[in-house]
Amino acid sequence: MSSEHKLCACPLDCFDICSMRAEIINGKVIKLEGNKDHPVTQGFICEKGRKHIERMYSPLRIKQPMKKENGEFVEISWDEAIDTIAGKLMHYIDTYGTLSIAQYNDGGAGGLLKNVENLFFDYLGNATLFKGSLCWGAGIAAQQSDFGHVKGHSPEDILNAKTIIIWGRNPVETNMHLVPFIKKASEQGAKVVLLDPITTGTAALSNWHIQLKPGGDAAFAIAAAKYMIESKLYDEAFVQNNTRGFNEIKAYMESLNYKELLEVCGSDLESVKRFVELLTSKPATIYIGYGVQRYNNGGVTVRAIDMLGALAGIIGISGGGVNYANKIYGDYINWKAVAPKTKTNHRYIAKSKFSVELSNLDNPKVKAMFISRSNPAVQLPNALETVAALNKIEFKVVLDYFMTDTAKLADIVLPVTYFMEETDIVYSSMWNGCMFYNEKLVDRYFQTKPEYEIYSLLAKRLGINEFPQMNEIQWINVLLSGSDNHTINIDQLKSDTYIFAEEAKAIPWSDHKFNTASGKFEFPDVFTLRKFMEDAKQKNEGHFQLLTVHTRESLHSQHLMTSKITYPEVFICKDDAQGLDVCNKEIVRLQNQFGSLTAEIVISDKIQKGVLYMKEGWWFKNGGSVNNLTSHELSDIGNQATYNECRIKIIKLGANNE
């Protein structure tokens, strides 16, 4: 019996990117556990990580290429699959041009070499692509405006904070390796403040939970800023030396009144004052979640929170920072080394607008689409129209492990390798500042191929001779060869299996040199803040507001494939349930202008009056996606989906729909 242990890292699109230890016997992975020696993930993994073995060896995995014939999928060879796809592409390109070919992908499976697929469409020509974000786009755009880049503190730096502010983030469910750091900091005397419209599991870690109205975060931040400025509690030296736009902000704050701000955010002035006292007890650190920017005002919300960090003078100090994401490793990847010589001019659609813009697109219409690392049929907003738009596309190719709801709509489904069956580089741009070398652990299961190999075969068949034809080691060596003075020691990375770039350990902005045009922190412009307040005061709050939250059991829809539930649960407070005359476990219909969804009532003390929440990610077999109900509209900046701008009615089954 041959037995060995090897290190690897979880490639799920998650804050943590866990370091794991695999036990391999006779060429098969039989156990995955946390790597006890890793300083961030510290030897434990989540339920999703423990499911990797089950998923890799699942009998439900797509075993070889599939082609739809007369409405049913049949297995075909790789040669036939590549020939079929190439033939279709050549026909559409010759007839309609390269813009008739579309590519949609997301972050469902992480890995540096997964992005080779993007390179293929650059070599193909001017294709139709998708921009923006379902996840974090408004917040990214906000911090780029304020700081000029998006950087976060190393996880262990939170131990230097006196106050930890967790704003719209639920690490107990979605960032579990942050939890031990919070607990240790709390034991050392740090105060933990949570701002969230829901009483999440993280509330139990907190000294104080401020339960704001959904979407009221910016108003609370502005109220806190107003109080800091009026009471002269802001860091005058930092503001004077390192920021731009303060005088305009100060004048605008004088024009505001607390009554309007507090009505929008759902808090009170005493809470604002207490919050400011904690924020200015330096060092204080702020951790922002992604839910706060999934509103129409998503960008201004993050900019308002950034503004508090600057006013408090917690930027560039140990134990401080406004931590939203940590996009440092993008600067280390040398895509220029493999880019085509001819500059492309792709056509773009915002991801959130998929349902309404794809069908209306013309000159030319999209005739063929490639979909990978995502399940847009259930993940995109306005799901019913999204599926209708997908059905109008003549030829669809999906790359996946399993027959998802999206894959079922395809004409060709291509099976891809699981991360333990391939060599790749994994890193996160969210929190954990570590880069991992994932060496291939076992031989490929079934007739699967990595994405870079699939697109290399397709490029060959199409005669795109300039497309780089390299194996995975060659790709890694080229892409990590150094870019703009950012280098990775590849030999050390391979030897140690993980590495922290020098920038990952540094305190962001400690030199107070920002990447903005002015070189200073940029306060949001007054026009932006004024527009937010005007819109907030005019907002019509009819019906219930539905929040769709992540769950610890699944990364979006991935791990709900085998779920046995008939209907998803919708959480409601006791008073609202009584007002509707609905009882616990009752089956109801949720309805709005985008569609409807059947759900099971759960009466909860974790939610405020007028607000509901549901866990996202459910498949069609579970009664339908929560995105049957969500809007395709965009946030103020960043082309961000506005999932939390969702108003619904609850209808008792058998009742009149009006």
Residue 340: pLDDT above 90?
Answer: yes
Read off the CATH number of the domain in which 482 is found. 3.40.50.740
- Residues 233, 315, single domain; the answer is yes
Mean pLDDT across 482-498: 87
- Residues 311, 190, single domain; the answer is yes
Establish if 518 belongs to a structural domain: no
- Residues 435, 372, single domain; the answer is yes
Give pTM, 2 decimals: 0.96
- Residues 415, 445, single domain; the answer is yes
Q: What is the pLDDT of residue 175?
A: 95
Nearest to 164 by CA among 322, 310, 300: 322
Q: Which position has the token pair 């100060």? A: 250
Residue 350: pLDDT above 90?
Answer: yes
Establish if 354 belongs to a structural domain: yes
Residue 645: pLDDT above 80?
Answer: yes
Range of the domain at 622: 541-652
Establish if 272 belongs to a structural domain: yes
Distances in Å between the Cα of 460 and the Cα atoms of 71, 116, 346, 451, 602 are: 30, 15, 22, 14, 55
- Residues 303, 348, single domain; the answer is no
pLDDT tens-digit series, residues 99-114? 999 999 998 889 999 9
Distance between CA atoms of 357 and 346, rounded to whole angstroms? 16
Nearest to 472 by CA among 398, 400, 421: 421
Distance between CA atoms of 568 and 284, rounded to whole angstroms? 39
Establish if 162 belongs to a structural domain: yes
Read off the CATH number of the domain in which 571 is found. 2.40.40.20
pLDDT tens-digit series, residues 415-472? 999 999 999 999 989 999 999 999 999 999 899 999 999 999 999 999 999 999 999 9
- Residues 285, 234, single domain; the answer is yes
Read off the CATH number of the domain in which 27 is found. 2.20.25.90
Distances in Å between the Cα of 478 and the Cα atoms of 341, 420, 472 are: 17, 22, 10
- Residues 608, 621, single domain; the answer is yes
- Residues 404, 280, single domain; the answer is no
Q: Total structural domains in the chain?
A: 4
pLDDT tens-digit series, residues 154-189? 999 999 999 999 999 999 999 999 999 999 999 999
Establish if 519 belongs to a structural domain: no
pLDDT tens-digit series, residues 284-293? 999 999 999 9
Q: What 3-state DSSP class applies to 513? A: coil
Establish if 482 belongs to a structural domain: yes
Higher confidence at residue 388 or residue 551?
Answer: 388
Mean pLDDT (the chain, rounded): 95
